[in-house]
Chain A
Amino acid sequence: MNVETSYSGSTAVAVVDGRIDSANAKDFDEELSAIIDRGVSSLVVDCGDLNYISSAGLRVLLIAIRKTNEAGGGLALCSVPDHIREVLEVSGFVRLTKVFATADEARASFSK
C-alpha cells in the first residue's frame, strides 16, 4: 500500500494503491492522519488502484470521515473499482461518504 497526496489549500487528493488489511491498517491510519494534521479538511481518497480493503481499512476511513467532518469539510471517494464498491455498499459506507467517478468531480464537490 502506498499513499500519494497532492494538496491544494485545505483540500487534498490521496491516491491509495494496493491492499489495505489488518496487517497495514495502522500505516494507512498514520498516512491519513498526517494529511489531516496538515490542515486538510476536505479529503478525496482516490481508490483507482486500490485492489483490496478489509474492515480494518474501513475502520481507518471512518476515523478520517469523522475528523474531516469535524473540521468542517468531509471525505469523498473516487474511481472506486466495482468489487471495492460492493464492500462499501454492504458495510453502509456509501451513506457515510460520497463516491465520485473522478478525482476532479470529488474535488469540485467540496468547492460548492
Chain B
Amino acid sequence: MPVGATRMQRSVEAIPRISLMLPEASVSRHSESGRITVDAKLDLEVGLDRDEPRRAVEQFEQFALEHDLPMGLTFKFQLALDELLTNVVSYAFEEGAAAPVITLALHLTDDKLEARLQDNGRPFNPLRDAPVPDLDLSAEDRRLGGLGIHLTKAFVHALNYERVDGWNRLYLVQPLGAHQEDPT
C-alpha cells in the first residue's frame, strides 16, 4: 500500500542517526559555582593485531582533542599508551592463545588524566622486567629494542603495575597541571 509505505519510510527516517560520539564514551560537564567540572570516560577493546595500538591511540587522540587537552600532554600520553599496547600485542600472548582480552579505560577529570590498561596474557611487569637501555653506548653497541618502556617512564607522571587474578594491569596517571606553560 502506497500510504503505508510512505508512513513506514517516515518512521525509518525518524529514527535518530547513530551519534558521532566516540564509542562507549561518556561525558558530563556541569557548572558548579561557575566552575566547569569534567568527568569523561572512554573504554576501548584492543584486538590482538599489529594495527590495533594505532587505532586505540588515535581514538585517545580524538578524545583528547574533544576535551581540549594540551597537545604536548596528548602526544606524550599517546606515545606511552602506544608503547605499552604494542608490547602487549607483540609479546603477551602465545600464538593461538585462547580468548585474549586487552582493554584500555581512560578517565579524565578536572585535575588528571588516568588510564588503566589490562590484559589476560602472560605475567609481565614492564617496570621491573623490561631491560633498561644504556643510552651512552654507540649506535653499534646499542640494543635494538627496549626504548619503548624507557620513553613511557619518562613521559608519564605515574605508572604502576599489578597482577590480579590472571590479569596484567597498568595504571597511568597524568596530572593536568604538570604540563602547563605557566608554573604559577
Instruction: Tell me whether B53 and A55 are in contact (CB under 8 A).
Output: no
Interface residues on B, range: 20 to 34
Question: Which of A2-10, A41-49, A62-70 is the contact stretch?
Answer: A62-70
Instruction: Tell me whether B139 and A69 are in contact (CB under 8 A).
Output: yes
Contact of B122 with A by CB under 8 A: no
Instruction: Tell me whether A92 and B140 are in contact (CB under 8 A).
Output: no
- Kindly state the separation between the CA atoms of A23 and B85 in the bound complex, as whole angstroms: 12
Q: Which residues of A contact B75 (CB under 8 A)?
A: 52, 83
Q: Mark B66-85, 1 if CB is under 8 A from A, else 0.
A: 00000110011011001100
- Residue of A21, A23, A55, A91 with highest tally of chain B CB at under 10 A: A55
- Kindly state the separation between the CA atoms of A63 and B142 in the bound complex, as whole angstroms: 10
Instruction: Tell me whether A66 and B139 are in contact (CB under 8 A).
Output: yes
Q: Which residues of B contact A58 (CB under 8 A)?
A: 147
Interface residue ranges of B46-61 to A (CB < 8 Å): 50-51, 53-54
Q: Which residues of A contact B147 (CB under 8 A)?
A: 55, 58-59, 91
Contact of A109 with B by CB under 8 A: no
Question: Which of B12-20, B94-102, B103-111, B149-157 is the contact stretch?
Answer: B149-157
Contact of B90 with A by CB under 8 A: yes
CB distance from B107 to the nearest CB of A (A): 23
Q: Which of A19, A66, A97 contacts B140 (CB 8 A)?
A: A66
Q: Which of B82, B90, B138 contacts A54 (CB 8 A)?
A: B82
Interface residues on A, range: 20 to 34
Q: Which residues of A contact B71 (CB under 8 A)?
A: 83
CB distance from A106 to the nearest CB of B (A): 17
Instruction: Tell me whether A90 and B90 are in contact (CB under 8 A).
Output: no
Q: Which of B90, B139, B148 contacts A65 (CB 8 A)?
A: B139
Q: Which residue of B lies closest to A54 (CB)?
A: B82
Instruction: Tell me whether A23 and B144 are in contact (CB under 8 A).
Output: no
Instruction: Tell me whether A96 and B139 are in contact (CB under 8 A).
Output: yes
Q: Which of B50, B76, B136, B151 contacts A23 (CB 8 A)?
A: B50
Instruction: Tell me whether A55 and B135 are in contact (CB under 8 A).
Output: no
Q: Which of A19, A23, A65, A91 contacts B150 (CB 8 A)?
A: A91
Supposing A66-B139, A69-B139 touch, asked if A87 and B144 sit within 8 A by C-beta, the answer is: no
Supposing A21-B53, A22-B50 touch, asked if A91 and B139 sit within 8 A by C-beta, the answer is: no
Q: Interface of A with B (CB < 8 Å)?
A: 19, 21-23, 52, 54-56, 58-59, 62-63, 65-66, 69, 83, 87, 90-92, 95-97
Chosen A-B contacts, 28 in total, with CB atoms closer than 8 Å, are A21-B54, A22-B50, A22-B82, A22-B90, A23-B51, A23-B54, A52-B79, A54-B82, A54-B83, A54-B148, A55-B147, A55-B148, A55-B150, A59-B145, A62-B142, A63-B144, A66-B140, A83-B71, A83-B72, A83-B75, A87-B79, A90-B150, A90-B154, A91-B133, A91-B147, A95-B136, A96-B142, A97-B139
